């Protein structure tokens, strides 16, 4: 190996005799190799159920190898033979193309005569793609086809073993050809050459200290800190959802932030959170949102263990209207759980964290694997494709958890949870009395087959017409005139429904910033500003 190859051989496969023994040789002389190592690196491979597995990807001038890292093997088996460690060998000329996520770090290697591999590499993806593309060009004498997508996860583009047996191929889109020599320096998120990326748009850094007082750190959200603030001009209370730009990039949540920014502005419903203002500083992205003094539903459930059936019905009625509104706009929420449901002082709710919403016009299918484990629908696990019906499945899980204090398929082992979701029917504890109508509502939401699930025919209308809601006036609820469940709060900043947090607000701007990551954020995230 030359010096450059040594730099790319991150796992030192060129010094591992067991790895070298699998390479092709020119004849009887074992050291006369006609196959040479071009690159090796540790990365993540995804199984057909989206389980991450640590693997070594080895690229030579003839093949790619999927190898189990030595560190993952028990010491007793440290001398295991190479053939056991090598999970798969693929001839480079058999590769038909690569699908690349513009928003994340995933890529799929397409092998039509066999099945695909989906990988993720945070820091080395472009070098892998460049090396593989170069090797392919030298062997086949043409550019390797590259497919680009805005999807964060590439499940919809990955042909699994099961798919291959059924004759299904998930490779789709319009391929582009890129010279392997420039591939390593491409920014796939913008599909612009490096020299074009130097042109930075003009950004306006906002000094929020002139308009808001920072009062209290409330909690850590998925993308950043949530802070109670007060308008200096009106004395009204709001919250900042404050995100560090570099964190949005490093945690692979850029696409979520973009989606949420868009939907916070365009959604307009009493039970969905609404954007008040959006702005940025040099290194932060900030959403100004209404302050929901009741905290999230998870806090209430934790304090009370379980809720009364009538209160659950009141909450579920609001969620039916909120999710129905999203469905009317061709969006699926996909992340229903108590932590994402906020409450105001009158006991009314607002859905928050819209970053996992996905638009599915004409009831199209999606294949992305996302959401909380205990809430995931069977059709998402089996990767047959899902639509808005997964929201009604999640609503059934939520209603059950609020009443019984535990999800219906709960288990400490994730694999067993998935197995129960797919195979076991919902069971109701005899220790907690609920109405037959409530049982029927939950049972029909938790049908394994989406076509048999409540809501399949007329969506939210089917749910509203269920017998469990025969005494519910949906018009009264959406006007928020029912104050039966008003919360007992002492003053406008009573924070009894928030956990005490020891966080110094002065440290918010003390984080060391990575200018390159901020630059990438600024290139990707345009039109931040918004004023209601």
Residues known to be catalytic: 335
Contacts of 332 (CB under 8 A, 6+ apart): 326, 357, 358, 359, 360, 366, 387, 388, 390, 391
> Is the Cβ–Cβ distance between 257 and 525 less than 8 Å?
yes
- The token duo for 375 is 């809430």
79: tokens are 């001398």
| Ordered DSSP codes for 141-166 | SSPPPEEEE--SS-GGG---HHHHHT
d(CA 152, CA 427) in angstroms, rounded, equals 35
Q: What angle do CA 298, 376, 317 make, to 5 degrees?
A: 55
Closest CA to 325 of 265, 272, 376, 364: 272
C-alpha closest to that of 120 among 159, 72, 93, 155: 155
Which of 206, 186, 197, 119 shows the shortest CA–CA distance to 157? 119
* Closest of 212, 263, 267 to residue 240, by C-alpha: 212
Q: What's the angle, vertex CA 261, arms to CA 321 and CA 517, rounded to 5?
A: 145
Report the side by side order of strands in the sheet with 225-231.
212-220, 225-231, 237-244, 284-290, 277-280, 530-531
Q: Do 108 and 128 touch, CB atoms closer than 8 A?
A: no
Residue 398 CB: number of other CB atoms within 10 A?
A: 25
Provide the greatest CA pair distance for the chain. 87
3-class SS at 287?
strand
- What is the CB-side half-sphere exposure of residue 388 using CA atoms within 13 A? 25
């Amino acid at each position: 190996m030359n010096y450059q190859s040594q730099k790319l051989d991150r796992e030192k496969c060129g010094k591992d005799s067991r790895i070298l023994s699998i390479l092709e040789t020119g004849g009887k002389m074992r050291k006369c190799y006609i196959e040479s190592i071009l690159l090796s690196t540790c990365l993540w491979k995804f199984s057909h159920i989206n389980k991450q597995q640590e693997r070594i990807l080895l690229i030579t001038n003839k093949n790619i190898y999927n190898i189990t890292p030595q560190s993952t093997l028990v010491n007793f088996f440290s001398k295991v033979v190479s053939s056991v460690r090598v999970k798969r060998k693929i001839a480079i000329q058999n590769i038909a193309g690569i699908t690349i996520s513009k928003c994340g770090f995933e890529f799929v290697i397409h092998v039509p005569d066999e099945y695909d591999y989906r990988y993720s590499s945070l820091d080395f993806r472009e070098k892998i793609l460049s090396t593989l593309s170069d090797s392919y060009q030298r062997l086949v004498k043409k550019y390797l086809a590259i497919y680009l997508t805005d999807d964060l996860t590439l499940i919809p583009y990955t042909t699994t073993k099961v798919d291959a047996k059924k004759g299904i191929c998930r490779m789709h889109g319009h391929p582009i050809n890129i010279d392997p020599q420039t591939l390593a320096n491409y920014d796939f998120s913008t599909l612009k050459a490096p020299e074009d990326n130097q042109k930075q748009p003009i950004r306006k850094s906002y000094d929020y200290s002139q308009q808001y007082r920072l009062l209290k750190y409330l909690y850590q959200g998925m993308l950043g800190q949530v802070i109670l603030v007060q308008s200096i001009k009106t004395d009204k209370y709001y919250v900042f959802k404050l995100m560090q730009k570099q964190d949005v990039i490093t945690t692979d949540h850029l696409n979520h932030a973009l989606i949420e920014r868009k939907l916070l502005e365009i959604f307009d419903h009493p039970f969905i959170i609404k954007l008040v203002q959006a702005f940025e500083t040099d290194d932060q992205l900030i959403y100004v949102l209404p302050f929901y003094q009741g905290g999230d539903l998870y806090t209430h459930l934790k304090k009370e263990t379980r809720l009364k059936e009538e209160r659950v019905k009141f909450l579920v009625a609001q969620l039916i209207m909120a999710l129905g509104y999203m469905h009317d706009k061709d969006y699926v929420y996909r992340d229903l759980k108590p932590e994402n449901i906020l409450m105001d002082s009158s006991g009314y709710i607002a859905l928050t964290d819209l970053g996992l919403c996905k638009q599915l016009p004409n009831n199209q299918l999606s294949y992305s694997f996302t959401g909380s484990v205990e809430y995931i629908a069977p059709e998402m696990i089996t990767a047959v494709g899902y639509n808005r019906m997964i929201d009604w499945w999640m609503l059934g899980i939520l209603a059950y958890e609020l009443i019984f204090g535990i999800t219906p398929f709960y288990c400490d082992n994730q694999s067993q949870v998935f197995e129960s979701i797919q195979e076991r029917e919902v069971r109701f504890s005899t220790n907690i009395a609920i109405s037959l109508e409530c049982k029927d509502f939950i049972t029909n939401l938790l049908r394994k087959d989406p076509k048999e699930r409540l809501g399949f025919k007329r969506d939210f209308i089917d749910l509203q017409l269920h017998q469990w809601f025969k005494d519910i006036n949906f018009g009264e609820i959406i006007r928020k005139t029912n104050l039966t469940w008003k919360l007992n709060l002492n003053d406008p900043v009573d924070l009894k429904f928030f956990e005490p947090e020891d966080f110094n607000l002065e440290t918010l701007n003390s984080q060391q910033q990575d200018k390159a990551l901020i630059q990438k954020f600024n290139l990707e995230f345009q039109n931040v500003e918004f004023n209601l």
